[in-house]
């Protein structure tokens, strides 16, 4: 009996100490649905592509200290990897599902969240610094676009043009309603110049953005 209890206690301790993905809980009180109404906030666009669901547009009001702050203050649910935490985002709004993405290490080159940025009225460009290092200017756009089985040069930008405008009604993927106004249909045949992908990094890690981009380009070309 004592041995049995010892085994149970050891198992419980191991489970308690096992690493789990770092998650950021949804905060319905954060952010507003749709585009930021003026140049004082940062508009955040999340495009799921093959994961299903319409792109979501939300506003992080006021100045944002980093790309991560913009995502969090816009009200998105985030999960970081076990190894890198929120410096390496592996899920946004619960996607991809846990059975498809274990969130143990950096996401694979074949399925990852690409980080994009743009000025209002400009073109999407791949972020040149990590989500915790970047500081989005007031009035700008932050974009997160899922790339699946795409080469480094073919990773898709968000399908929503980075142009501030009035929001439209909608709900988040999975039928979980926000306050309305953040899920919008992607632009069709608009002729919008999406711009080239400037790096193939799955996620740009803190302090290692340049090295990660070079590494992933080498993998993609090899």
Mean pLDDT of 72-100: 95
Task: Please report the pLDDT score of residue 109 as a whole number.
Answer: 85
Range of the structural domain that residue 132 is part of: 20-221
In a domain, 12, yes or no: no
Say if residue 193's pLDDT is above 90: no
In a domain, 11, yes or no: no
In a domain, 13, yes or no: no
- Computed over every residue of the chain, the mean pLDDT equals 74
- Say what the pTM is: 0.67
Say if residue 63's pLDDT is above 90: yes
In a domain, 6, yes or no: no
- Nearest 5°: phi and psi at 177? -75, 135
Residue 120, domain CATH: 2.170.130.30
Reported as a pLDDT band with limits 50, 70 and 90, residue 27 is: low
In a domain, 173, yes or no: yes
Compute the distance between CA of residue 167 and CA of residue 14 in angstroms, rounded to an integer: 48
In a domain, 93, yes or no: yes
Q: Provide the domain count of the chain.
A: 1
Find where tokens 């669901």 sit.
53
In a domain, 8, yes or no: no
Mean pLDDT of 94-118: 93
pLDDT-wise least confident of 69-78, 129-138, 183-192: 183-192
Question: Helix count (H) and strand count (E) of the chain?
Answer: 3, 9
């Amino acid at each position: 009996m004592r041995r049995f209890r010892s085994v149970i206690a050891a198992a419980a301790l191991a489970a308690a100490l096992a690493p789990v993905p770092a998650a950021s809980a949804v905060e319905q009180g954060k952010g507003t649905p749709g585009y930021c109404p003026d140049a004082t906030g940062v508009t955040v666009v999340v495009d799921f592509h093959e994961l299903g669901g319409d792109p979501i547009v939300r506003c992080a009001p006021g100045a944002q200290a980093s790309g991560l702050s913009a995502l969090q203050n816009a009200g998105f649910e985030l999960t970081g990897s076990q190894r890198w935490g929120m410096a390496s985002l592996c899920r946004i709004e619960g996607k991809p599902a846990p059975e498809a993405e274990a969130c143990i290490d950096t996401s694979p080159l074949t399925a990852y969240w690409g980080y994009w940025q743009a000025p209002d009225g400009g073109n999407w460009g791949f972020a040149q610094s990590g989500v915790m290092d970047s500081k989005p200017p007031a009035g700008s756009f932050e974009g997160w676009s899922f790339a699946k089985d795409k080469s480094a040069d073919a990773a898709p930008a968000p399908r929503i043009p980075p142009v501030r405008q009035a929001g439209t009604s909608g709900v988040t993927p999975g039928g979980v309603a926000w306050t309305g106004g953040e899920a919008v249909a992607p632009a069709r045949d608009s002729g919008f110049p999406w711009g080239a992908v400037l790096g193939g990094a799955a996620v740009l890690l803190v302090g290692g953005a340049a090295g990660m981009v070079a590494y992933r380009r080498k993998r993609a070309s090899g």
